Amino acid sequence: MTRLLCQLADEFYPVFSEERLTCKLHIPQGLEVQGDADKLARVFDNLLRNAVHYSPEGAELTVAARRNGPQVEILFRNTGTRIPPQQLERIFEKFYRLDSARSSRTGGAGLGLAIAKEIVELHGGNIVASSDDQYTEFRVTLPAVPEITIQEKE
């Protein structure tokens, strides 16, 4: 997970630069989840793309991850316009878009977050979104690779 998230942020660097965005990473070494790296990369790529499209020029994006017991939590946070609660409830529905102008501006069909949710849930995890006047956050929780403990023989 650590390498995947860092690699994706590196791949997005030209996009961040073009939009004058900064991306802060808070990802410890050695985070591991069980899953399909290509499918999870698709989820995280979609979340980063949405953060870029909905952030004002010069904004800061944050990608943070941590182990929380048997799970790994990954947080994508961006500044921008608050998503109203009634829209936030529908954000993971197929073909749902926050605004109709987005489809012509970015080519979005309203499938990205629905696909992301399906992939995350097939991995035994979940994805939730929250939004207030400061930030919009997407939190992905996935099962961590179990920690191996070596017990000494007496």
- Per-residue pLDDT tens digits of the chain, which is 154 residues long: 999 999 999 999 999 999 999 999 999 999 999 899 999 999 999 999 999 999 999 999 999 999 999 999 999 999 988 889 988 888 998 877 666 444 444 555 578 899 999 999 999 999 999 999 999 999 999 999 987 655 655 5
Give the whole-angstrom CA distance, residue 109 versus residue 100: 10
Kindly state the DSSP code that residue 13 receives in the 8-state scheme: H
Q: Residue 78: which residues within 8 A CB-CB, separation 6 or more?
A: 51, 54, 55, 59, 60, 61, 62, 135, 136
Give the whole-angstrom CA distance, residue 24 versus residue 61: 6
Give the whole-angstrom CA distance, residue 147 versus residue 132: 35
Q: Residue 138: in which H helix or E strand, if any? A: strand 136-143
By the 8 A CB rule, do 81 and 142 touch?
no
Domain boundaries, the chain: 2-143
**Fold annotation for 2-143:** Heat Shock Protein 90 (3.30.565)
